[in-house]
Amino acid sequence: MSLFIASLNSGSNGNCYYVGNGTEAVLVDVGISCREVEKRMKDLDLPLSGVKAIFVSHEHTDHVRGISRLANKWRLPVYSTKAMRRNGGFWVDAELVCTFTAHQPVTVGGLSITPFPKFHDAADPHSFIVQGNGVTVGVFTDLGRPCDQLVRHFSQCHAAFLESNYDEEMLERGNYPFHLKKRIRGGDGHLSNKQALDIFIQHRPQHLTHLLLAHLSNNNNHPQLVADLFAPHAGNAQVVVASRFAATPLFEIRAEGAAAPLFRGSMPEAQQQQQLALFE
């Protein structure tokens, strides 16, 4: 009994996360081009015909840039809220427009997707819990600050995508203008490495086997810094820093909670070395 997860891309240049059960799948956000989604899924041996819906976390460009082309080409329903659509930069054919409501699960084949609100400077931002085959996966990015709902849902996950956006010292010393620094760390922006680590240490369940750290800042963070910060606390969980340049491998998440091997793709250590080189 498993679900399969991958980050197709993660960062301010585009975000796209895959969760599937081997028969059907959903994408959370499509902030990269249709061509890149197709290419990266092909590289992971994932048929796009298996994707049955797209869920939108919020309307910022790095989360919606590729939705219009991908959804219209592959006839994928796009679940969002009215506020997202009013403020968003994505358009899809009328018959593909679907609306979700906070805390009300949406059924897509054998998957159940439950949205819940989060703190972020967008029109109507939401995080998601995806459940199927006895497995719970969380997609938690673009978080201004932790909240009780985030903690409650994280503590139930077998695997999670969790934002670890910025290092506090790098942001403080960096050349961003004050108003942008204030926006990032002001409670409606992004989650710092320390905040993400605190969530992991304090609220990780025993059955969490995979943590994919997501949405790293290109200017105020570094993959090695994040990897080194989390490594001493990983325990039996596999902690992977998601790349802003490539897809992660596809991971199998098992209901029984035992750490599962990689399903498809390269070993994360090799991929992370490639990613680190790109940052240098």
Tell me the CATH number at 189: 3.60.15.10
Max mean pLDDT range (67-76, 181-190, 262-271)? 67-76
Q: How many domains does the chain have?
A: 1
pLDDT at 273: 43
Range of the domain at 66: 2-275
The whole-model pTM stands at: 0.93
Residue range 166-187: average pLDDT? 94
Asked whether residue 91 is domain-assigned, the answer is yes
The residue-averaged pLDDT of 71-87 equals: 96
| H and E: helices and strands count for the chain | 10, 15
Residue 34: its H or E element: helix 34-43
CA 34, CA 137: separation in Å to the nearest integer? 24
Q: Residue 77 corresponds to which tokens in the numbers above?
A: 């329903």
**Mean pLDDT, rounded, of the chain:** 92
174 token code pair: 């960096």
Average pLDDT over residues 73-102: 95
CA dihedral 66, 67, 72, 77 (to 10 degrees): 160
Question: Is the predicted pLDDT of residue 263 greater than 60, yes or no?
Answer: no
Query: What are the structure tokens assigned to 179, written together?
Result: 């108003």
Q: Is 132 contained in some domain?
A: yes
Partnered with residue 253 across adjacent β-strands are 3
> What is the reported pLDDT for 277?
41
- Inside any domain, residue 121: yes
User: Would you say 57 and 41 are in contact if contact means Cβ atoms under 8 Å apart?
Assistant: no
> Considering only CA atoms, which of 136, 91, 92 is closest in space to residue 112?
136
Mean of pLDDT values over 208-222? 97
Q: What is the pLDDT of residue 88?
A: 80
pLDDT of residue 256: 80
Tell me the pLDDT tens digit for each residue of 126-152.
999 999 999 999 999 999 999 999 999
Q: What is the pLDDT of residue 89?
A: 77
pLDDT at residue 143, as a whole number:
96
Rounded to an integer, the average pLDDT of 4-10 is: 98
Calpha distance 224→246 (Å, rounded) = 16
Q: Shortest CA distance to 53 belongs to which of 96, 8, 102?
A: 96
Closest CA to 50 of 20, 92, 81: 20
The dihedrals phi and psi of 111, each to the nearest 5 degrees, come to -105, 145
DSSP 68-111: HHHHHHHT--EEE-HHHHHH-S----GGGEEE--TT--EEETTE
State mean pLDDT over 110-136. 96
Q: Label the pairing between strands 2-9 and 111-117.
A: unpaired
Nearest Cα neighbor of 68 from 94, 42, 104 is: 94
Q: Among 118-127, 156-165, 224-233, name the one with the lowest average pLDDT.
A: 118-127
106 falls within a domain: yes
* Amino acid 280: pLDDT: 36
Q: How confident is the model at residue 264 (pLDDT cuts 50, 70, 90)?
A: low
Cβ pair 21, 137 in contact under 8 A:
no
Is 263 contained in some domain?
Answer: yes
Q: Is 280 part of a structural domain of the chain?
A: no
| pLDDT tens digits, one per residue of 33-63 | 999 999 999 999 999 999 999 999 999 999 9
Note every long-range contact of 96-99, with CB atoms under 8 Å and residues 24 or more positions apart, other chains counting. 96/71, 96/72, 98/53
Q: What's the confidence (pLDDT) of residue 257?
A: 56
Percent of the chain at pLDDT > 70 equals 91
Separation between Cα atoms, residue 181 and residue 174, nearest integer Å: 9
142: buried, middle or exposed (CB in 10 Å: 19+, 13-18, 0-12)?
buried
pLDDT at 270 over 50: no
Where are the extended beta strands (E) located within the chain?
2-9, 16-20, 25-28, 51-55, 78-80, 97-99, 106-108, 111-117, 126-132, 135-140, 159-163, 210-214, 238-241, 250-254, 262-264
